[in-house]
Structure 1
Amino acid sequence: MTTHYLHTLDKYFNNYNNKSLVETYILNPKISVWDIYVFLIIFIGIIIIRFLVVGIDRDKLKKGSILFKRCNQSVLDKINYKMNISKDGLEYKWKENFWYALWHTFSFLYNFILLLSMSGYFDNKNGWVKMCLKETSGKWFFLVTEDEYNENKRGWPYMYISNYVYYFYILQISYWSSCLFYLKFEKKRKDYYIMTLHHLSTISLLTYSHMLNFWRVGLVILFVHDVVDISLYISKTISYSKPQYRFFLNIFYALFVLSYFFFRIILYLFYVVMPLSDISEIRIYTNGFVNSHFDVPGVVIQLACMWLLMIMHCYWFCLIIKMTHVFIKQSLKNEEIVDVRSDDEDEKITKNKSEKKKLKYY
């Protein structure tokens, strides 16, 4: 089997010195100035949709303003009013986590269909997804298989990107930008600045991988995050619901802890971050065209964002272990489950306890 089809780096580096700065960093052939308008339309659309579905925390708004009057008239407010689902005083947290659960379920299902369609399992071919599972070197994020080459597809940087993937990327960048916008309207948590850093690194990672045509690794990173976030936000939504709605809480929380460890610690680290950091392996499968991460424009920044996400995964996993201890302890005692990330909830629980003590005293 020959390897001439594996990459197109020889063609790229022959023209590298003749490229302008913009041409060097924008390798995705479909990118145009219209993408900015598409991003803005989707970004504003998501902000509006989230407001209509979730609303905004009233404590963050000025009394008497237009938003203040309509912030509790969202779709989820009406559902909660009829079914009486959320705990008293935690309505916004219930709505907030319900929204995240909806988004990550949609994102996961769409991404899963994309990956499955490119895997090669259905047509008995060696698609790049199938090869990624067989080999953990990371090379199939950039190279094409022989079957893909026979379909007139080429490796990075001239890798073909379909419209289904292209606009999914713009949708993701718009969504995470809206999350950054809404941070100031959400309940203040202990890891507020970590979350800000997380959103910024996610947006940077998505933008760079979109510009540099690294969409394959981008889809995999989105997948390992979405599959965990579904069980996370469903369990959080249930935890903010009244006791009669909480019979699935233990199942979803266990799924969250196990999936977090497997996908974000093991799979993300050993299948994505470490292979893409191993320059000796990269040197081998690029036939010496890439001898350093600095040989490819923008890759160092992308790797830095990936490692930053990995560090934050470890930080949050420590919180998860702490939360699991609290979860088991409080579940056995049939007490309220407290989110260890939340300052205001801790204050509310403390306030409720002090009020109960006062009632007992009188």
Structure 2
Amino acid sequence: MDMLNARYWIKENMTWYYTLEATFYYSLLLGAFFDVRRSDFWQLIFHHVVTLGLLSASWAINFVRVGTLVLVSHDIADVFLEGGKLVRYAGKHKMLTNVCFVLFMSSWILTRLTYYPLIVIRSAFFDAADLIQPDYQIFNPLQVPYVPRLIIIMLVALFLLHIFWTYIIGKIVVRTIQEGEAADVRSDSEDEAEEQEVRRKRLTKTKQQTKKED
């Protein structure tokens, strides 16, 4: 195999990795419409669509190294997230739930808030151009190909979602300190309905008390 073909050759294990990840995110995207809708439902949908777009675009132009780094930086934190959910749903391991949450939060900060923007996104902005063509200017929107710029836009979009979910994680930290156990602070549609009903009853009670005083 000559050097030119070796540069663009994709190994079989990489093909399987992309295939499995794409299948996984398609299942998440479709399954989200049948699952309990949390307050960040549309952010999740957007995340899955962007991730699938990144997988497709990076595969189409053979930017699999960027795609692989994105997947790995996401998968690490997800392991601790899903593990923590399993422990919490068991309902008998409060301390282990908190340990899983600490591991998740630490991996989230290291991978999605540090490694992802400082290594992956920075490399896409400043290093990827040399791999496309010698005279390629990533900041020239009129120069072809356009797909690398689309990939960068999607990378930044994912990072903005990371910031949004970091805010939610911060709220979980506050609740954990107050209540002693990590819990999901995102409300679902039933929770919102119950909260609205409680507020309505409180408002009605307040009005009745005000009328009695008058």
TM-score, normalised to structure 2, is: 0.79
- Select which of 122, 144, 149 maps to 1:300: 149
Are 1:219 and 2:68 matched, yes or no? yes
Q: Which of 92, 101, 116 is residue 253 of structure 1 equivalent to? A: 101
Q: 1:160 to 1:343 in 2, by over 3 A?
A: same
- In the alignment of these two chains, the number of paired residues is 194
Matched residue of 2:37: which SS?
Answer: coil
CA deviation vs aligned residue, 1:105-143 (integer Å, no higher than 9, x gap): xxxxxxxxxxxxxxxxxxxxxxxxxxxxxxxxxxxxxxx
Q: 1:221 to 1:190 in 2, by over 3 A?
A: same
Aligned pairs for 1:318-337 within 5 A: 318-331=167-180, 337=182
How far apart are 1:190 and its partner, in Å? 0.2
Check whether the contact 2:38–2:186 (CA below 8 A) recurs between aligned residues.
Answer: yes
Question: Does the C-alpha gap of structure 1 residues 217 and 292 become closer, same or farther in structure 2, counting only changes over 3 Å?
Answer: closer
Which residue number in structure 2 is paired with residue 291 of structure 1? 137
Q: Does 1:203 align with 2:49?
A: no
Task: Report how far residue 346 of structure 1 moved.
Answer: 4.0
Q: How do 1:1-362 and structure 2 match up within 5 A?
A: 152-154=2-4, 158-242=7-91, 244-278=92-126, 288-292=134-138, 294-331=143-180, 337-344=182-189, 346=191
Partner of 1:98 in structure 2?
A: none
Q: Deviations over 1:297-354 (max 9, x none)?
A: 41111111101000000110011111111112110xxxx7541123257459969x9x
**AA partner of residue 116 (structure 2):** Y
Gaps of 5+ in 2: 199-214
Deviations 1:243-291 (A, max 9, x none): x23341121111111111110011000001122123xx55678784212
Give the conservation status (yes or no) of the 8 Å contact 1:338–1:345: no
Matched residue type, 1:291: Q
| Alignment check: 8 A CA contact 1:187 1:344 kept | yes
- Name the structure where helix makes up a greater proportion of residues: 2
Deviations 1:56-105 (A, max 9, x none): xxxxxxxxxxxxxxxxxxxxxxxxxxxxxxxxxxxxxxxxxxxxxxxxxx
Give TM-score scaled by structure 1 length.
0.49
Identity %: 25
Contact 1:208 1:302 in 2 (8 A): yes
8 A contact 1:338–1:346 mirrored in 2: no
Q: Is the 8 A contact 2:77 2:111 kept in 1?
A: yes
Give me the whole-angstrom Cα distance separating, in 1, the residues matched to 2:94 and 2:194: 19
Q: CA RMSD in A?
A: 2.8
